[in-house]
Amino acid sequence: MMKRLGSPPRNLSGQFATRAVAICAMFVAMFEMGAAAAQPGNADNGRAKAATCAACHGADGNSVTPQWPSLAGQSEAYVARQLQAYRDKQRPDVGMQQFAATLSDQDTRDIGAFYATQRLQPKGADPQFTALGERIYRGGVPERGIAACIACHGPGGHGNPMAAYPRINSQHSAYLQKTLQEYAAGNRQSDSDKNQMMRNVAELLLEDEIQALASYIQGLQ
């Protein structure tokens, strides 16, 4: 319901009471978050917790199936964030939503710490597409307002662990394409804590540009 402009507040003390309750609730929520706040991830614990994930992501985080992303060398913060996003239904994969459903925040960080210690195996690019992919990756498409990927993911695609910008180099192009399409369609919302920055970029990309980028990025080392 719209509040009429200029109308005096109906019940001042009532408003203050409501606000006071809201502020108390906020402190309680902050306290609870603090109490449950995850400690930095423990890679040894993470290795054990990731045992069931090896079937798809590889024992060392290098997956051999193009639809299953490699996780080796990915940052703790990014992996933890994605597992929480599946768990909280901000990413739409039914299988991953199930695998993440019972993970605590601490579990997600331990698992992230484990994959961060693993070594990513390089993959080759499909040379057919790399020229267009490289051009957009390095320079964006200024006339259509598309930012250069290099600005956030770095020249080698290694990302920025502190900012939870993911490593994307040597990732399967099939997975990269699918996930860029999901950002573009607005279905992948794991960037909601980052001003939707990937959705904003991906929705401007054309299909052949996504294909070219995915191929180029797979070949980055």
Give me the residues that bind ligand HEC (CB under 6 A), please. 50, 52-53, 55-57, 67-69, 71, 79, 81-83, 91, 93, 95-96, 99, 111, 136, 146-147, 149, 151-153, 165-166, 168, 176, 178-180, 190-191, 194, 197-198, 201, 213
- Within 10 A of 123 (CB to CB), how many other CB atoms are there? 18
Among residues 60, 65, 52, 59, which one has the least CA distance to residue 100?
52
DSSP state of 220: -
Nearest CB to ligand HEC, comparing residues 13 and 195: 195
CB of 189 to ligand HEC, least distance (A): 8
CB of 19 to ligand HEC, least distance (A): 33
CB 181 within 8 A of CB 210: yes
Nearest CB to ligand HEC, comparing residues 19 and 91: 91
CB of 4 to ligand HEC, least distance (A): 41
- Within 10 A of 13 (CB to CB), how many other CB atoms are there? 8
CB of 33 to ligand HEC, least distance (A): 20
Burial 41-78, CB ≥16 within 10 A → b, else e: bbbebbbebbeebeebbbebbbbeebebbbbbbbbbbb
Rounded to 5°, angle at Cα 206 from 202 and 209 = 90
CB of 34 to ligand HEC, least distance (A): 23
Nearest CB to ligand HEC, comparing residues 32 and 207: 207
Nearest CB to ligand HEC, comparing residues 81 and 158: 81
Nearest CB to ligand HEC, comparing residues 91 and 158: 91
DSSP state of 163: G
